[in-house]
Amino acid sequence: MTPQSLVITNGRLVLPTGEPVAADLRCQGGRIVALGADAVAQDGDAVFDARGAMVTPGLVDLGVFAIDKPAFHFGGITRAALMPDQGPPLDHPARVRFAAQSGKPDFWVHPLAAATRGLEGAELAELALMRDAGARAVSTGRRWIADSGVMLRLLSYCAMLDLVVVTHAEDDGITGHAVATAGEVATRLGLPSAPAEAESLAVARDIALAEMTGARLHIRQVTTAKALDLVRAAKLRGVQVTAGVTPAHFMLSDLELVDFRTFCRFSPPLRADADRKAVIAAIGDGTIDVIASGHDPRGPEDKRLPFADAEPGMAGAETLLPLTLTLVRDGVIDMARAFALLAGNPAALLGVNAGRLAVGAEADLAVIHPTRPWVVNSDKMAASAGNTPFDRRPVEGRVLALWKGGARID
């Protein structure tokens, strides 16, 4: 894939601020070199007519558990930060280096280094060596580090290395083997449950330690009103904390569990509807910085089980864009903010020069029809497993064309 000089004409550019602008875009040598009146086609340029569709940055998916290139490409995703929960974990420089090369040239994987050896929460891993091997951030993985001393050392070290710490926010001592949020639904179904405060307690501890150390903290999923209030207050104090969420937690509540639907088994679990609405409000007011897919495809052997025995996770790459666009249609956010959540902010956290349409940025580009309708079908998904809670749901928003570094992805 040799990047060809490219001009995209007749598109509506989604810039970092404001409404989409009718303008052309030119890229050369894998980077954007001109926008608007300066984007004039030259001899030898490939020309793509967007025919009025939106031209956007390729999505940057922060925190996936598997690399499914066909699914990512379908969803307009050109880069993904890979969680360290692999077999074996990404707790060694050689594994990080291999993961960082694994998707090229048409997809870039940004490994998140395991914070501790074996992701066991006890002994810090070789973070500096893994950074040098290609790790773009450090992550605690699927679990919270319960030992506050270990977390303090981790944040202090990562502050020196200028690495973001991506953390999971559930106090294991409270959640135990819970699979649902404590409340009426869990009680009626007889499911092992834990109070929503398991999240806010974890968030409070991690924010306090980040404030002490000056470290950059990204809480991968914040799903409860109380925890969002803590993040909101910390930002006002100047703490370097950011928050993410997946579409499941602004689209669905724990009412989805009534038929023991294991495709709705997540970690953290679905919350009460009041918390779901609080997540939407936090997306609207800027408390939440990132919307990610949490892509975690699970086959029948993991999902066709009693609810308490099923593995958490969903195949989210293909539905990330259309589900986020529902927030635009509902007036919660504008289009520029949607792509900041999906591309610009995660790219900035990972320290990559992508995720926005700007001269000098890497030419990871998508042409998108924001209102083209389609129906999610778990049987036809490009992911290795189609475990989605949104099966048969009508959605709008489809990728028409995609480029990685200026090279067209078929």
Q: What percent of the chain has pLDDT over 70?
A: 99
Pairing of strands 290-291, 365-375: unpaired
- The answer to whether residue 38 scores a pLDDT higher than 80 is yes
Cis peptide bond upstream of 247, omega within 30: no
Q: What is the distance in angstroms between the CA of the first residue and the CA of the last residue of the chain?
A: 11
Query: Where does the pLDDT of residue 2 fall: very low under 50, low under 70, confident under 90, or very high at 90 and above?
Result: low
CA–CA dist 185, 156 (Å, integer): 41
CA 407: distance to chain centroid? 23
CA–CA dist 336, 355 (Å, integer): 12
List the structure tokens of 152. 């303090």
- The answer to whether residue 91 scores a pLDDT higher than 60 is yes
* Number of other residues whose CB lies within 10 A of the CB of residue 157: 18
Which amino acid appears at position 199 of this protein? Answer: E
- 334 burial level (CB within 10 Å; 0-12, 13-18, 19+): middle
Question: Kind and range of the H or E element at 265?
Answer: none
Spell out the residues 6+ positions from residue 226 whose beta carbon is closer than 8 angstroms to its own: 196, 197, 199, 200
CA–CA dist 43, 268 (Å, integer): 53
Task: Classify the C-alpha dihedral 120-121-127-131 as positive or negative.
Answer: positive
Q: What is the pTM of this model?
A: 0.96
Spell out the residues 6+ positions from residue 62 whose beta carbon is closer than 8 angstroms to its own: 80, 81, 166, 218, 220, 244, 290, 292, 346, 349, 350
pLDDT of residue 229: 98
Average pLDDT, the chain: 95
- The answer to whether residue 1 scores a pLDDT higher than 70 is no
Whether 112 and 84 have beta carbons less than 8 Å apart is answered as yes
Average pLDDT over residues 398-404: 98
Longest dimension (CA), the chain: 68
Question: Kind and range of the H or E element at 27?
Answer: strand 21-28
pLDDT of residue 84: 98
Q: What share of the chain is helix, strand, coil (3-state, %, to 5)?
A: 35, 25, 40
Domains and CATH numbers, the chain: 59-355+372-394 (3.20.20.140)
Question: Kind and range of the H or E element at 191?
Answer: none
Per-residue model confidence as pLDDT tens digits over 287-312 = 999 999 999 988 888 888 999 999 99
Which residues, listed in sequence order, are joined to residue 11 by a DSSP beta bridge?
A: 23
Cis peptide bond upstream of 88, omega within 30: yes
Whether 109 and 99 have beta carbons less than 8 Å apart is answered as yes
Per-residue model confidence as pLDDT tens digits over 207-258 = 999 999 999 999 999 999 999 999 999 999 999 999 999 999 999 999 999 9
Question: Kind and range of the H or E element at 82?
Answer: strand 77-82
- 237 burial level (CB within 10 Å; 0-12, 13-18, 19+): exposed
| Cα 150-156-162 angle, rounded to 5 deg | 130
- The answer to whether residue 26 scores a pLDDT higher than 80 is yes
- The answer to whether residue 174 scores a pLDDT higher than 60 is yes
CA–CA dist 160, 140 (Å, integer): 18
Per-residue model confidence as pLDDT tens digits over 122-140 = 999 999 999 999 999 999 9
Per-residue model confidence as pLDDT tens digits over 136-161 = 999 999 999 999 999 999 999 999 99
Torsion of CA 84, 87, 92, 95, to 10 degrees: -90
